[in-house]
Each structure stands twice: as C-alpha cells, then as structure tokens.
Amino acid sequence: MKDTARVVVIGGGVVGVSTLYHLAKRGWSDVVLLERTELTAGSTWHAAGLLPLFNMSYSVGQLHQYSVELYKKLEAETGQAVGFHPTGNLRLATNRDRMDEYRNYQCTAETIGVECHLIGIDEIKSLWPLINPEGLVGALWHPTDGHIAPVDVTMALAKGARANGGTIYQQTQVDGIERDGNEWLVKTSKGTIRCEHVVCATGNYARQTARMVGLQIPVIPVEHQYIVTDVDPVLKAYRESGAKELPILRESDSQYYFREERMGWILGPYERGAPACFVDGVPPTFEKDLFPGALERLMPHVEGCINRVPSFENAGIKDIVNGPISYAPDGNPMVGPAFGLPNFWLSEAHSFGVTAAGGAGWQLANWMVDGEPSVDMIGVDPRRFGVTSKHFARIKNEEAYEHVFVNHFPMEERPAGRPAKTPPIYDRLDKAGAVWGHRFGWERPNWFAPAGVERRDVYSFRRSNWFAHVGNEVHTMRERVGLLELSSFAKYEVEGSGARAWLDRMVANAIPKSVGRMSLAHALNPSGSVRSEFTITRMADGLYGERFYLVGPGAGHDYDLDFLQKTLPRDGSVFLKDVTTQYGVLVLAGPDARRVLEKLADADISNAAFPWLTMQDIPVGYCPSVRALRVNFVGSLGWELHHPIEYQVHLYEALMAAGAEFNIGLVGMRAMDSMRLEKSYRLWGTDLNAENSLLEAGLNRFVRLNKGEFTGRDALVRQQADGVPNTYCTIEIDADDADSFGNEPVFMNGQVVGRGTAGGYAHFVKKSLMLGYVKTEHAEVGRECQVRLMGELRPARIIAESPYDPENAALRA
C-alpha cells in the first residue's frame, strides 16, 4: 500500500467513489480510497427516482440534477453498465396543499433545468393504467427521471477513477487519524498513509470517524424498510401485452414510493416511529447486515398502496428489507469542510445516497481544487447546525425521516428537539404571544399572536393565518416603535497590531478608521461571489492594538468562525474572540425609537451626536455599557442594542416600560423580513450566495478595488471589464393570494431570464415583491416580465430599488 497521497477518501460507498472519480478527473491523480470491506454502493438500497425531493434545498436540487446527467454519460465513458431505467416519475396529489407543493416545486425545477409537468386525472390513468384514481386531484410528472442500479453506478465510478489515476484499497480498516504538522496521518490495518487532505464518506460510521479527530457531527442512521413482492399476475399480463415499464409512483400523502421489480413490486414507505440506530456507533459485528422486518409499522402504507394499486394485494410479500440509512437533522447531506480542521472534508448523511452522490463528488472536487464550489452549497454545508449533540441528532434525525413525504411548506418549523438555545427573555416573549421559529438552534419569535388568537402556524403555500398579524407588526415599527429580539446574531471581537491588515485583505470594502464608525463588508470567494457578510465597527484601541467588532448572520456562526480561525495570521498579531453568547441584541426601531431610548440612555443620542452608521458604548438603564449600533435590517430609525447577556431581562422590561406611552409593540422575524424586502436588503445565504458576484448583487458601493489586494478582487476586475452577466432586481408581482418565497423563475417572451432568491408581501408599501437575479440585458427598471406563482404566470415588472424610503430619510432621521 502507498505510504503517501495527496488525498485519502475514507469510505467505499457510491459517495466516496464519486469523490475519488471527480478528483481524479480534475487532475489530482494521487488520490486513494480506503474501504473497510469490499466496494459496494454503501448499502443494500435501490434507487427510486433520481430527481430532487421536496424537503431538499436548492443546493441539493442541483446535486441531484448533475447526478442524473453524469450517470447517463458514465456508461459511454467507462463501458460499465449503470442499469438506468428511464421510466419517468409520477408524484400523486390528493389535496390542494399537495398540488400547491408541486406548483411551487415546478418553479424550482424550471430554474435548475428539471423538466416537469402538472397533469390531471386522465393523463395519470394514461401513464399508469393499473392505478385506482379515486381521490386524486392531480400529479407532477417527471418524464426524464427513472431508477438506477446503485452497485452498477459505484462500479462505473470506480472504473472511471482508476482510469484517471485513482487508487482503491479494499479490506482496509481505518483505525485512527492524526495531525502531524501540516499533514494528516491515516492509520489503517495495512499501514499508515501521509496525506494533505482527508475526505470522510463513511455513512453509518460517520460519528465514529469524526470522533477520531475530535469532531462531533449530528449524523445518526435511522431504520428504513421496504417490501419486495412476488410476481403480480396483473402486472405480468400488462407487461407481456407489450406495455413498457411503469413510471415510479410516489403517493406522498400516503408516504410511500412504488415501482416495478421483476414483474413484482417494491414498496418503500417512510413510516412513523422508525427508530434511530447505531446511536453509540456501529457494532463491530455489524457488517452489511439487516434488521428484522417490522411489518406492523408498514401496514398503514401497505393498505394505502392496495387502495391505489388494487393488484398489489395479490402479490405476496417475498422480503422485507430493513437496514440503516444515514441522516442529518434537516434530512440534507453534509458536504464540505469540517469545522476547525484544515483540509478535512465531509460527505456524510446521504439519506438519498446514489441520487446526490454524483453531484456531491463533483462539488467537493471543485471545492478542493479551486478553493470554492461552483454552485451554492450553503444548504448542505457541514457547519450549518447550531446543535450537534448525540441526543439532539437522534430526535431530529427520526423526525427528518418521518418528514420525507409530508407536505413541505416554505416557512415550516419542525418541533422536535426544541427549545435548544433560548435568550434570557424567552419566557417573557412567550407570555407575550410569541409563535416561535428557530435558526441555528436559537429560538426566535416569528410573529406574535394577539390576545384571543391561537398561537400556531397554519402552513400554506398561500397567505396564511399570520398574514394580517405580521402586517400589524410592520406598521407598529414603521409608524411608532417596535422591539425585536436578535441575540442569535454572530458576534466577534478582533484585536491586534495586524488586525486592520488582516481584515483589509479579507473583505472588499474599506475598514473603518475612526472609532465608532462602521462599514458593511463582504468576504468573497476567489470567483468574486459572496462568502460572508459582516458589519465591522472600529472600537477604541485595546491592549494589543486596534480593536474591531464584527457582527454576522446567526445562521452563519460556525461557517464564519471556522473561516476566521483558519485565515487568522499565525504570527500572533491578531486575536479573535467569539462573543456571540456574551452579548444579547435587542433592536429598537421606528419613528419614536429615539424618544424611547433617550428616556433610558445616559448619553446624547440626538442625530447630530449619534448619526446613522456609527456606534457608541453608552449606559442604558441599569446596564453600564451597551454597544449601541445605529443600524438595522428593517430600514427605519433605530439601534441595535448589543448588551451583556445578563442585563437582557432588565433592558427588555425597561424599554417596554419606556415605550408604553408610544404604544411600543413586539415584532417578529416575519415582519423584519417583510420590511427588509421593501428596502431591497440582501440576505446572506439566499440573495448573497456562492453563485453570484458582489457586482451582480448590485453592491458596488461596498467594493474598493483601489485599496489593494483582497480575495476575489481579480475576478471582480475581470467581470467589470467583461460585463456583469446578471443584475440583482426588485420585482413587483401582480399576486393574488400567494406571494413569492424564492426560487421562482422570471420569464420574458416565454424564456426563463432570471430566478428569485427571496420574496413575500411588503406590508407597508402594499406590494408583493420578489428579489433576485435577472440576465443583465433584460434587467432595466420598468421592464415587464412574468413570474410563476402557484402554477400561473403572473404579470410582474422590475421596479427601482427600495420601494420604501429610497432616500433613507427614515434611517438618517
């Protein structure tokens, strides 16, 4: 066995082999794959459709679509059959909400090039003559989808990897992984390999492998069952009459998929009560074994399938397959860099392994070779979870499994494992009627139910029960004064003689020079796309030199902290401190915000003394020092009050008491989102992403090309010279009872010319708005277009930025 390599991939399933294949194809021929047994697909599972599922992110949709394209080419490239059956995929609906989900899915499909059609009962019966259509209202039809043989795909990828210089060692157990200087030592049953990069694609062993390097990841398998039947005489007669293989059938409302298998059937339910397994690791005695079948859990789905396909009742059960499938808390895989470890990569939690494997290997290779992925991967980034403990993962992964086929709404909040992280005033907000959401583990009020209104979300793809109440919160903050809890913001202190130079090389904007000044700054990828966004405030000098306060998105905490730590100078010239949980944040905003704050602040907070885009440390109430930042994400006069967390209860009560005479109100996240839309504010992770440059995002005012080198500068200079391909636009839609959620296509003259990244109803300006990217040649203000909402092409038009207060008079008041 080799004793050195550039990359060691651990895990010989389809995901690991795909990574090896793509790295070898990118020219990194000195790559090695280690498999503890023999090369297989990584499990006993078949593939029941390759195209994206509804609970998956935009990122995963692109991975799946690439996988389909790759697998179709792989056979010709390698000469190895992959067993692809292009049967198509039929997704059934029995109610309006499910059809709305399909209408919403059609929007995403059109933006990533997946062909799909909404069809009625007659077309369903034509495509699936053996079906009982009773109770159906329609379906979504994927004509280009099908099923594939995972083992065949794995062997084809392995053959392609070897042909391009990759090496595979089977029957090779990894016993330990250690860091030695700037390299990794992978200790195996056949010796030690020294390498630059390690990729873990170990499936059910993910937590055990991660623990070898001190990493805790929320990956725990869940038992998954499917039924294989004997020959169905009705199906056999149908096929022998000359009919072609039936499409894969998904009846999501009964939570199963269904397809042909050797003149019989495979029924794959996602049942309630499926338990997590291997919570404490895979036993040494478990190789590729299976668990006993649990037919009682499957019976509701069996009965549902008999109702839909009557002949299924006469096909005897041949086998019940019950085995482990790896999951993460949100059901999406984990693909990308590991937190805190140099050149250590994860491709784990592939609950739909073969469907995403091709795309995962493709993007992981791009990331390693080019320094960034070529599509936005934030939805699958391993650093996206705010809670990673074993007990949390067990509960959430069981929930994720159970939710595979439930109706997935854009604003859904899943209840398991909550609350996990709460601010000190959680109980007070709860008593005030908070309807809670969560992000990165933090509980945050989405909206507040007034007295007499039920405190719950009624989920829908259309305007729902919170619509009017969110509108009232918007008017409270725009017309009077509102208070918003945002302690989930990520917060860091940077200090040292090299702090300014380090930050300057990191971000595109200038670093503030005067104490108390702030700037919005973006760390870019080499391509010029947005990696991270921070508000950077110059503080008074510390003991070790200049000091800065960085505030970033709460959901990006681990993503950004990992980035900051890995880029920190190693000469001791910069000190970085994560103070996220030391400081709470209350946002006080609205025309009366100054009147409320001046009753409590021991400082001059007039506009002359405390202008917009500045920060001051001021005493407020009993709190001796509040970092008051005159900035906010709603676009009104106001302050972010960053305070020592132990003072939060006092500050909350003092602000609410001081604001009583102004009829102060509590405001939730959905109202904030409505207000940021009508200001055309870009949100990190959606509007600002890894696929569009800072220039495409229209944030030229935050770029200083003449300040010197920074990551992404060369790409921006080239794009400025060549022409910016896409332009960030604000689009007003003539909506009815449904608004944009993001990922809707923009049409002009029957062609897709853009994609929404966010949307909703702007309650103060009374417009249905969508933000997103449109090809520059079509992006003129005033241009008419169409946006697909709920299956309809709605009239729309590109409007000027910031339909609310375009001159920022409210912010500067």
What is the per-residue pLDDT across 716-766, written as a single tens digit (0 to 9) for each?
999 999 999 999 999 999 999 999 999 999 999 999 999 999 999 999 999
Taking CA atoms, 759 is separated from 476, 732, 738, 775, in Å, by 21, 10, 11, 18
How far apart are the C-alpha atoms of 775 and 461, rounded to whole Å? Answer: 27
Contact 613, 538 (CB under 8 A): no
How far apart are the C-alpha atoms of 467 and 763, rounded to whole Å? Answer: 9
pTM score > 0.75 for this model? Answer: yes
How far apart are the C-alpha atoms of 447 and 671, rounded to whole Å? Answer: 7
How far apart are the C-alpha atoms of 772 and 791, rounded to whole Å? Answer: 19
Residues 6+ apart with CB under 8 A from 400: 55, 222, 327, 328, 329, 330, 331, 351
Query: Which burial class, exposed, middle or buried, applies to 723 when counting CB atoms under 10 A from its CB (0-12, 13-18, 19+)?
Result: exposed
How far apart are the C-alpha atoms of 544 and 539, rounded to whole Å? Answer: 13
Q: Which residue has the tokens 């200083």?
A: 704
Contact 584, 642 (CB under 8 A): yes
How far apart are the C-alpha atoms of 321 and 293, rounded to whole Å? Answer: 6
- DSSP code for 292: P
Cis (ω within 30 of 0) for the bond into 419? yes
Which pLDDT score, from 0 to 100, does residue 45 have? 61
Q: Cα angle at 582 between 579 and 585, to 5 degrees?
A: 100
Taking CA atoms, 685 is separated from 443, 712, 740, in Å, by 19, 18, 17
How far apart are the C-alpha atoms of 408 and 97, rounded to whole Å? Answer: 9
Helix boundaries (H) for 334-389: 353-370
Helix or strand holding residue 761 (H, E) = strand 751-762
Query: 96-112 and 58-78 are packed helices; what angle lies between their axes, rounded to 10 degrees?
Result: 60
Q: Which residue has the tokens 């904030």?
A: 672
The closest alpha carbon to 692, from 727, 742, 743, 740, belongs to 727
C-alpha 484, offset from chain centre: 24
Residue 85 structure tokens: 């059956």
Contact 660, 426 (CB under 8 A): no
How far apart are the C-alpha atoms of 136 and 125, rounded to whole Å? Answer: 11
- The Cα diameter of the chain in Å comes to 87
Which pLDDT score, from 0 to 100, does residue 380 have? 95
How far apart are the C-alpha atoms of 282 and 99, rounded to whole Å? Answer: 40
User: Which pairs with CB-CB distance under 8 Å and at least 24 residues apart come from 109-113?
Assistant: 109/52, 109/61, 110/745, 110/752, 110/788, 111/743, 111/744, 111/745, 111/752, 111/755, 112/58, 112/61, 112/62, 112/65, 113/65
Contact 711, 526 (CB under 8 A): yes
Name the 3-class secondary structure at 460: coil
Contact 267, 320 (CB under 8 A): no
Residues 6+ apart with CB under 8 A from 680: 730, 771, 801, 802, 803
Name the 3-class secondary structure at 512: coil
Residue 606 structure tokens: 């007039």
Contact 537, 548 (CB under 8 A): yes
3-state SS, one letter per residue, for 37-78: CCCCCCCCCCCCCCCCCCCCCHHHHHHHHHHHHHHHHHHHHH
The closest alpha carbon to 373, from 63, 704, 687, belongs to 63
Where the chain has pLDDT below 50, the residues are 54
